[in-house]
Structure 1
Amino acid sequence: MSAGRGGARGPHDELTWAVAGVIVAALTLFSLAMLGGSLASLLTGHGFTHPPYALSTLMGLTISDPAAYWPSTPAWAVYTGMTAPLLLLTALVAVVTAALRRRDTTPGLAGRRELAGMCPDGITDRARSLRPTLKGRDRLDADETGNLLGDLMPNGPELRSSFEDVELDLMAPRAGKSTGIAIPRVLRAQGAVVLTSNKSDVYAVTRAQRENAGTVWTFDPQGIAHTPRGMWWNMLGECHTIEGARRLAGHFVASVNDDASKKDFWISAAQNTLTALFLAAARGGAAVQDLLAWLADPADRTPIDLLRDTGLDAMAEQLQGTVRGAVETRDGIYETARQTVSCLLDPEILAWVAPDPDLPEFRPDRHVAGRDTLYLLSKDGGGSAAGVIAGLADATLRAGVVAAERMGGRLDPPLTAVLDEAANVCRISDLPDLYSHFGSRGINVVTLLQSYRQGARVWGEAGMDALWSAATVKLLGAGLDDADFVQKISTLVGQHDVRTPSISRSRDGTSRSYSYRQEAVLPPDKIRALPKGTALLLATGVRPALIRLRPWFKEADVGVISAAAKAEEAAITQRAVAKLGGGTPVVEAMSADKE
């Protein structure tokens, strides 16, 4: 008869193994004690003598004085000799246990050997080949070699991505996106930084440290951090070409369109109209206020004339055709266009994108060549400045591409772009297409999303698939509740062989055999239940691995950073109180709300 897995061993079998284990343990201890006493006798000059290896000796050593069995040897030597082998055995067991614990606890996942290219030695060699400025230096700081991802579970080592990797991170709110990814990436960045966010937490923790590296530019048109306006960006400066004007128009359209792959007639026509108006304003030297006036009055021929004056006759004819079309169609197109740029009707937002001779102008081309930091902050929902934020982020990334081409193909030091809340405040419509070559230019982009579906709502299923495929490093953290997506991830992680025992009993005796079956390395329920602060690492060319994130507040220099963060939080609160006329502000409790 064959016993299954659940009942392979009965009470009799368990008792048999327990008795055998006790006997083996007793004999092992007895043998070590005998060996220790005999060695003590030898080392003290009394020869290698030992009592009989018998049960009576075992009982005697247990209930009487062991030194009596080596009468010519000092008692202290006997006790020391008997204890030493036991201590050595204990140490050996501890070493073996530690070595086993350092192995992967989940069979089927990548270990140190497979991730050697992301471990300290491997990533250092990779950095020297990617960054010419590191050649000839004997010792490198760890942050100069790559971007910290976390520690391989269960016991390390730390893993880093190279400076030509681009990253996509998916995890739910409060799973560690800010504390374990965004903040450490900004603090450790070697070159220029671009950060987008709808909260002030990353800004508050990192601003003081980034001031030590270079100039800090804070673009905060909606008062997320309540920072006074200290800069301006010439939004129309990116629109002197048809490509630049169309890209900026696309950012405004994407800020109100939930799926870039599903543009209806009104959305597409509004983007074409905005492209023509942006181009006319940039080429004709008009201000953003003039552009808003043209949108309010479709009959105004000024943009058409400006396009013709600059030799863009085809664009002028197209705009004129829209204006002269059916009134209902024209009004629908212009109303849609007005809605996409409605945030510019807010004078506080408009002031950030209009020339101001009293404040410095932010120049993306200069920013990417240094070690400065640009914080792009915007609220979600209606009235947000997401279109402006996406436009400035895109202009900076494209400036990085141009700078890389001038430097021989790759920025050194690399540009770090952390697109936190990218689906809400930084909807760059063709981001999936740009991802494929950012890494080769030395532009390290990290896109942070709450779920796969959130990205699909912005870029469409095809766009999100392209973004997923283009990302060379992907981190999947806690709280992924999309059953279909988690099932796909479980399939990608793969399966492993599990040995199953089978016991057969008959009149002739008992026999044991083994069979193998395949199980998922990480079933969907385990992926969904990943603990906070951990993530599943999917890197190109290696098996998946589990890592532990390294939040900024657990690093060695947390004291200095924490003090600066508290001071910045207090300053944000004070500015909020002043803006509200002394009332009680609603501020983000960042210290108590660590993601």
Structure 2
Amino acid sequence: MSGPRTGGGYHEQLPWAIVALAGTGLTLFTVVWSGGTLGSGLTGNGFHAPPFAMSTVARLTTDGPAALWPTAPAAAVYAGMLALLALLAAPAALAVRFLVERASRPKGLAGRRELAAMCPKGIEARARELRPSLKGREQLRPDETGNLLGDLDPKGPELRSSYEDVELDLMAPRAGKSTGIAVPRVLRAQGAVLLTSNKSDVYAVTRAAREQAGTVWTFDPQGIAHSPRAMWWDLLGECHTIEGARRLAGHFVASVNDDTAKKDFWISAAQNTLTALFLAAARGKAPVVELLGWLADPADRTPIDLLREAKLVAMAEQLQGTVRGAVETRDGIYETARQTVSCLLDPEILAWVTPDPELPEFLPHQHVLGTDTLYLLSKDGGGSAAGVIAGLADATMRAGVVAAERMGGRLDPPLTAVLDEAANVCRISDLPDLYSHFGSRGINVVTLLQSYRQGARVWGEVGMDALWSAATVKLLGAGLDDADFVQKISTLVGQHDVRTPSVSRSKDGTSRSYSYRQEAVLPPDKIRALPKGTALLLATGVRPALIRLRPWYKEPGAAAISAAAKAETAAITQRAAGRLPGVTLGKR
């Protein structure tokens, strides 16, 4: 008696091979017999079928179809055979294709049924609940119902997130973040748009289209798109309260501090000092350049006096205590504070946050109520304007919260905020805490990061875990190389049962048995090797699913968008070379 072994031998497969061969022959003969008779009948030569027997096969092989259908033209007989073969082959091919695709699809992932709430009918019903302006309308455009995520792999349908979802996307560089997520989200936005970036690619592709929707505001203090200064924003406009001043100070501190969860004494003290100075400047209506002078000279009592005049005695006493402290400590605090706002020493950057009576002022509370677009562009690394960018982005999104509260709880149409390169140019320190709150207010935030670890460097492990948990939709794309993170994702996706056959032979015959083992639905190596343009979708309350992103250049109307993008890119190049004069801000 031999032990069990997997697979079957030649003798075990032979009966099945004979059956398959006989079945194939019978099918072909049936097609020839029926098709020849059909061709004869349709050409007016009668539906006279030859006997359905082996003798007919022999006559057909030796004498051809003329011996079976003598009155019918050979061409008609052959045409009938081919037509019937095609008629039967088409559905058979579709069935085989369906079975092959189903067999190749990773088991354990969500399908159309589990994702019904994100499919067209489900997402439309949810949109009607969330947006009062859609009630009573029979037909809705797809972009009015939700944010396009992509198509369920392999054959759809398209999936959308609702207007109360907030999203976190992790993808390596050149994995499709811009073409498959940022650009489509800006182009399809129904309300106001906010975009942060350290490159001009999304700006170049979407600017022309967004100009048709409303005013385009471009905040480009470091010349990413070499856009002429055609606006200004009051940096101290949100600093009339202690909360607003502290938030702005936090943005500048976060722009130079990689992990806000690990603030040392100097960072915390510098944030407190900046809070007092911002508050004094806002209450005293002092310009930003004067505030920089206070930082340069700690002995200047002007901010202390302004705080006292504003009845902010406790804040004035705290600032005075810092100034009167040990010289070494005071100088260390002020030097740290100077480093955090050093970008304002650049007159090119300072001009964008200084009142200019000849240019329009950007007002966040008005922006969120329309269909305008705000591009926030900044370099990353040393000397970047990331603190200013984070301050303006935060002011705009908080203005959206205030507007939503006045509208009954939710913005309609929603505000779309695409925080591309958020870890580099838009470090809002408490973004993880605000994330779920934004979703409930109709503010669709999409944070784009290159990896989980990149976010942890900015918000700390605890903060990044909070951001991950608060995001109701997560897309994980190609090129995730963090082994620990990918292993965690594989665990989240889960396991499924795999049936393994085994064959045992003995003198009494052959027996087959099956055993089951657990196997990861998506092992870490497969998650890391996700093809470019695909992403793993993790949505709250639904099993993970694999989707295909929809790049803007493959969508209808891409030719016109591409032409406008080329023109804008050429204009950026010419402006960079100083050959094209700047244009003023376009209005509707």
Task: State the partner residue of 2:564.
Answer: 564
Change in 2 beyond 3 A, CA 1:426/1:11: same
Is 499-508 or 249-258 further displaced after alignment? 499-508
- Following superposition, the deviation at residue 17 of structure 1 comes to 4.0
Please name the residue that 1:97 is paired with: 96
Partner Cα distance (2:85, 2:481) in 1? 51
CA separation in 1, counterparts of 2:47 and 2:365?
85
**Contact persistence 1:266–1:336 (CA under 8 A):** yes
Q: For the residues of structure 1 that align with 2:196 and 2:83, how far apart are their CA atoms?
A: 62
Residue 264 (structure 2) aligns with: 264
Q: In the alignment, what sits opposite 1:592?
A: none
CA gap 1:78/1:209 in 2 versus in 1, 3 angstroms: closer
Q: Deviations over 1:176-234 (max 9, x none)?
A: 11111101110111000000000000111111110000000000000111111111100
The corresponding residue for 2:584 is: none
CA deviation after TM superposition for structure 1 residue 580, in Å: 12
The whole-number CA distance in structure 2 between the counterparts of 1:168 and 1:4 is: 48
C-alpha separation in 2, matches of 1:512 and 1:102: 27
Aligned to 2:585: none
User: After the TM superposition, which residues 33-432 of structure 1 pair with which residues of structure 2 at under 5 Å, given as runs?
Assistant: 33-37=32-36, 49-51=49-51, 53-54=53-54, 56-71=55-70, 78-100=77-99, 103=102, 105-432=105-432
C-alpha distance in 2 between matches for 1:100 and 1:116: 22
Cα displacement (A) at 1:74: 6.3
Structure-1 residue corresponding to 2:539: 539
Q: Partner residue of 2:514? A: 514
> How far apart, in 1, do the equivalents of 2:510 and 2:520 lie?
32
DSSP 3-state at the match of 1:505: strand
Higher mean alpha-carbon deviation, 117-126 vs 178-187, is at: 117-126
The answer (yes or no) to whether the contact 2:48–2:69 under 8 Å persists in 1 is no
Taking the aligned partners of 2:49 and 2:320, their CA distance within structure 1 comes to: 113
Give the 5 Å matches for 1:567-578. 567-578=567-578
**For the Cα contact (< 8 Å) 2:537–2:544, is it kept in 1?**
yes
Cα RMSD over matched residues?
2.0
Question: d(CA) in 1 for partners of 2:568 and 2:211?
Answer: 13
| Amino acid paired to 1:542 | V
| Separation in 2, partners of 1:509, 1:213 | 77
In structure 1, how many angstroms separate the alpha carbons of the residues matched to 2:508 and 2:29? 36
- Retained in 1: the 8 A contact 2:33–2:49? no
Secondary structure of the residue aligned to 1:269 is helix
Aligned counterparts of 1:74 and 1:569: Cα–Cα separation in 2: 66
Kept after mapping to 2: 8 A contact 1:270/1:333: yes
For these two proteins, the number of residue pairs brought into alignment is 578
CA distance, structure 2, for counterparts of residue 76 and residue 374 of structure 1: 69
Change in 2 beyond 3 A, CA 1:76/1:208 = closer
SS in 2 for 1:261: helix
Classify the secondary structure of the residue corresponding to 2:514. Answer: strand
Q: Work out the CA distance in 2 between the residues paired with 1:238 and 1:528.
A: 43
SS in structure 2 at match of 1:512: strand
Query: Which range moved further: 11-20 or 389-398?
Result: 11-20
- Contact kept, 8 Å, 2:60 with 2:67, in 1: the verdict is no
Contact 2:175 2:533 (C-alpha < 8 Å) held by counterparts: yes
| Structure 1 unaligned regions, length at least 5 | 582-595
Match of 1:578, SS state, is coil
The Cα of 1:36 is off from its aligned counterpart by 4.2
What SS does structure 2 have at the residue aligned with 1:537?
A: strand
Q: 1:572 to 1:52 in 2, by over 3 A?
A: closer
**Distance in 2, Cα, partners of 1:2 & 1:159:** 51
Is residue 2:8 matched to residue 1:9?
yes
**Is 2:486 aligned against 1:486?**
yes
Structure 1 Cα separation of the partners of residues 8 and 99 of structure 2: 26
Residue in structure 2 matched with residue 21 of structure 1 by the alignment: 20
Give the match's secondary structure for 2:154.
Answer: coil
Once the two structures are TM-superposed, the CA of residue 548 in structure 1 deviates from its matched residue by: 0.9
Q: Structure 1 pair 244/36, CA: closer, same or farther in 2 (3 Å)?
A: same
Q: CA deviation at 1:314?
A: 0.5
Structure 1 residue 13 displacement after superposition:
4.2
State the percentage of identical aligned residues: 79
TM-score (norm 2): 0.94
Contact 2:449-2:455 within 8 A present in 1 as well: yes
Unaligned runs of 5+ in 2: 582-588
Distance 1:183 1:62, change over 3 A: same
Q: Hey, what's the Cα distance between the residues in 2 that align with 1:38 and 1:231?
A: 81
Segment drifting more, 398-407 vs 99-108? 99-108
Q: Distance in 2 between matches of 1:349 and 1:80?
A: 78
Instruction: Indicate if the aligned counterparts of 1:102 and 1:155 stay in contact, CA closer than 8 A.
Output: no
CA distance in 2, matches of 1:197, 1:52: 74
2:45–2:71 Cα contact (<8 Å) kept: no
1:409-430 deviation line (CA, Å, top 9, x unaligned) = 1101100000000000000000
**1: CA distance between counterparts of 2:22 and 2:52?**
19
1:478 and 1:67 map into 2 onto residues whose CA distance is 62
Match of 1:151, SS state, is strand
> How many angstroms does 1:507 deviate by?
1.5
Counterparts of 2:234 and 2:365, CA distance in 1:
13
Query: Secondary structure at 2:366's aligned position in 1?
Result: helix
Q: Which amino acid aligns with 1:245?
A: A
8 Å Cα contact 1:4-1:502 kept in structure 2: yes
Give the distance between the partners of 2:373 and 2:143, measured in 1 at CA: 17
Q: SS of the counterpart of 1:525?
A: helix
Kept in 2: contact 1:479–1:530 (CA 8 A): yes
